[in-house]
Copies of this chain bind each other. A is one copy, B any other.
């Protein structure tokens, strides 16, 4: 169930260098401004961020012939080479993305192409191969892991393939509870289209207002209601995919043993194997009832144990999440603002949605478990406040950045038995990393998703400025800030891998996590990904550097350039990069 206020703002184009609707931008609350110096030391406010029209881009590498060829496929009005269109497709919304844009350090794709449908996507991919163009599939632009960087690799130019026109409800099977939607359909648009028939998707990541169904699938999204409705992975019953060497229409039955489930190979493929053009999804009737309740636990460990019991018993909450003591204190995750100390201990949110009698039963059963595990109900109000503000937190980041305060999020997951260790190691990596540069930081954490065998941890990081660090949007100062964060983030990734966590629970790999992927799936796992990519995208035009490390992409491209036979190259490249990666990463 999605509230009207969550839907309302989605029609406005996203800020080019920040989050969401420009009209919804927030100033930093006074209470927070008062609190920050105490937490982070003195933070100097930098000069204002650059405006879009102040950014000078490198000229496009696309010529008139490219433009004409693309226009012949999708129509001239759907090929844009102007600076604004290019900057608006220049990457995702990680904090480094935003810092770069604020400082005019942003590269941009050479053009933006907006195909109308699956067949036009197929045609654009063929043209891209023929004209040596890299292609970055682009949905809502909400990647926070560098999944949308305009990287051209060794290709002549790079285009952003904006899938916004592949939007809409292609079919709804009300009996089976299954819908086919265009991959470019945004979260709110999907809910609106399904809602007209009495159905909902019920997938609410924080990016909900802007992200697209194709993006959810390509990056293996998980949402706030995933405890009840499942990860996006679990909702997908089929995919239509265009690759440079052929098309796929996958997913034939609700359960199958007809070989490996190839749908799962494209979930998480991040545009590196093909372009998802259509998503088939399990949908369900708009919930008839909702019940919310907030809880307080003496500490995070007690709360985590309570959530474990709920997940393992399967008492059926739609949403269940638990903030640690730091996050509870500043209530950032709950109300979208810092500074209101709601409670001591660790607070949790539960929401139940569905048929009225089931909601009542599940609520009662879950409440009994939470009480028994040491929780105290704090009533409905705090839970409803969280629901109301749940898509607003990213706006706060922009306000913090305006004030020179670094703010970023990251996430991981592990088994229940390993949760405390992983939380400790990640927190230490963050605080030690900033401290090494003389900067104070504050780490807030919550359990964002639960499973019978484990849970996901979501960290919010706020950091002040290091000793002697310039507070400026001047390029050199931003480069220094990006380098500092890169070092901290690398330490965190190392800590996650060493502590047995996954490098990402729901943000994806992109380019930011790609160097760590081999340590998660092993060298043979990486060889499998490269073999699949070589088979489907032998020229390596699709999102080069995303998912599979840039070095590998470059090796593959270099090998391709020097040899006529695509098949043998791809394997050779794979061998070459494999050796390199093994020597490097281990």
Contact = CB atoms under 8 A, between A and B. Distances in A.
How many A residues are at the interface, by size bracket? 35 or more
Contacts of A221: 257
B261 A267 contact: yes
A249 to B, nearest CB: 6
A329 to B, nearest CB: 27
Contacts of A558: none
Contacts of A253: 412-415, 454, 456, 501-502, 505
A11 interface: no
Contacts of A572: 567
A123 to B, nearest CB: 17
A528 B262 contact: yes
Contacts of A247: 522, 524
B260 A513 contact: no
Name, among A237, A365, A528, the residue most crowded by chain B CB atoms within 10 Å (CB to CB).
A528
Interface string A167-210: 00000010111100000000000000000000000000000000
A517 B254 contact: no
A173 B415 contact: yes
Contacts of A503: 258
Interface in A76-115: none
A254 B454 contact: yes
A71 to B, nearest CB: 28
Name, among A267, A354, A455, A531, the residue most crowded by chain B CB atoms within 10 Å (CB to CB).
A531
A259 B517 contact: yes
A176 B453 contact: yes
A507 B257 contact: yes
A258 B177 contact: no
A531 B529 contact: no
A66 B222 CA distance: 52
Contact of A258 (B261, B357, B500, B502): B502
A260 B266 contact: yes
Contacts of A449: 255
A561 interface: no
A477 to B, nearest CB: 32
Given A177-B312, A255-B506, A571-B571, A237 B284 contact: no
A562 interface: no
A548 to B, nearest CB: 9
B522 A248 contact: yes
A494 interface: no
A586 to B, nearest CB: 13
Nearest to A412: B253
Interface string A543-586: 00001000000000000000001011011101100000000000
A576 to B, nearest CB: 11
